[in-house]
């Protein structure tokens, strides 16, 4: 049974910028002073993420918490801060670099803007047909090499986690490129995602995940792309009653920590954390497909929500409209990575 995660004293309200910066400075000073005696002491692992506890990422974090509590006899304590309670999209990586948090699971889109553009391959539209293809990439040689490249930006990549495929939500069906014309669409900070929306005639608006609901409610944006589990947990149905099953892109995460904290761990603790995390990731990945199907079933019976399927002609038209984005990525990163991915998933480049 998962051990309840501890909340910060003021978890009911967003932390202020002043408080956050104070924590960042404190974490940096603590790291600079050294942690040589901590190997035999109780170990704290703060895990911050931006989604709800009942998503694949939230459940993965809870499983990690429970496994480490059980296998360390309570010595390793995992504190989980979901829903951007501690850090949001805009500052979680800075918090990791400065030692104010030990573990994150940012979306793969964020790593491109953080200096590892190869991760933008996961943002390419219509690249993967299903999660089986994704996992052939993330669980194989290509995935391992991508995680190793995070070391260039002072991160240790520990594994991949699925969420699911993104669908479109708006005030109207979005079946064809013409339906996107002029819409302001919330996207993550990704050059590929921005270019994709512009190719469809829409205007990309980069916003942190935690601000999406308010932006839709106030008209800052007109549409959004999300896996169905996020659509439900963020309660977007009253704001975006039309859901079009475009399945145009994949949304996943990479679990990362800082090299300083990872090296600080003793060999036994490092092995314990890695084994527990591997099992937690397997748990989260098993949940991802099931939650997606359950979310779709819920949406089909939810009053006021209309679910739209894409026909072959419409899907081909969308794919053709965004093809220039794929070629742009191939030129900017080099053909080798994209060719390697196509080779793994069995599709022709």
Q: pLDDT truncated to tens, each residue of the chain (349 aa)?
A: 444 444 443 333 344 433 454 444 444 444 443 443 344 589 999 999 998 898 899 999 999 999 999 999 999 999 999 988 888 777 888 999 989 999 999 999 999 989 999 999 999 999 999 999 999 999 999 999 999 999 999 999 999 999 999 999 999 999 999 999 999 999 999 999 999 999 999 999 999 888 999 999 999 999 999 999 889 888 899 999 999 999 999 999 999 999 999 999 999 999 999 999 999 999 999 998 888 889 999 999 999 999 999 999 999 999 999 999 999 999 888 889 999 999 999 865 4
Tokens of 290: 């099931």
Contact 276, 68 (CB under 8 A): yes
Tokens of 1: 């049974």
Query: What is the rounded distance in angstroms from the CA atom of residue 171 to the CA atom of residue 240?
Result: 5
This prediction's pTM: 0.85
Longest dimension (CA), the chain: 64
Which domains are delineated in the chain? 17-345 (3.40.190.170)
How many Cα atoms are found within 13 Å in the side-chain-facing hemisphere of 109? 22
């Amino acid at each position: 049974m998962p051990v309840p995660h501890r909340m910060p004293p003021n978890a009911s309200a967003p932390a202020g910028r002043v408080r956050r910066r104070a924590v960042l400075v404190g974490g940096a000073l603590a790291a600079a002073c050294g942690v040589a005696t901590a190997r035999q002491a109780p170990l704290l692992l703060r895990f911050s993420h931006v989604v709800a506890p009942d998503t694949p990422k939230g459940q993965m974090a809870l499983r990690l918490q429970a496994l480490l509590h059980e296998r360390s006899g309570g010595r390793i304590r995992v504190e989980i801060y979901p829903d951007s309670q501690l850090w949001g999209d805009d500052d979680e990586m800075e918090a990791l670099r400065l030692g104010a948090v030990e573990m994150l699971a940012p979306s793969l889109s964020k790593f491109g803007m953080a200096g590892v553009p190869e991760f933008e391959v996961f943002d390419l539209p219509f690249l993967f047909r299903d999660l089986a293809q994704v996992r052939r990439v993330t669980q194989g040689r290509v995935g391992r090499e991508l995680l190793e490249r995070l070391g260039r930006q002072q991160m240790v990549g520990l594994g991949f986690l699925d969420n699911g495929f993104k669908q479109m939500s708006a005030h109207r069906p979005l079946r064809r490129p013409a339906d996107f014309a002029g819409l302001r669409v919330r996207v993550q900070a990704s050059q590929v995602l921005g270019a994709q929306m512009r190719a469809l005639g829409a205007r990309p608006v980069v916003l942190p995940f935690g601000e999406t609901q308010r932006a839709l409610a106030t008209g800052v944006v007109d549409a959004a792309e999300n896996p169905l589990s996020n659509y439900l947990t963020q309660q977007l149905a009253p704001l975006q009653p039309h859901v079009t099953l475009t399945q145009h892109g994949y949304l996943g995460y990479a679990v990362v920590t800082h090299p300083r904290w990872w090296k600080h761990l003793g060999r036994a603790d490092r092995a314990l954390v890695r084994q527990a995390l591997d099992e937690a990731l397997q748990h989260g990945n098993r949940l991802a497909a099931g939650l997606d199907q359950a979310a779709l079933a819920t949406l089909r019976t939810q009053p006021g929500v209309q679910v739209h399927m894409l026909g072959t002609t419409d899907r081909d038209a969308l794919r053709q409209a965004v093809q220039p984005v794929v070629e742009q990525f191939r030129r900017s990163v080099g053909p080798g990575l994209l060719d390697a991915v196509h080779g793994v998933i069995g599709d022709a480049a």
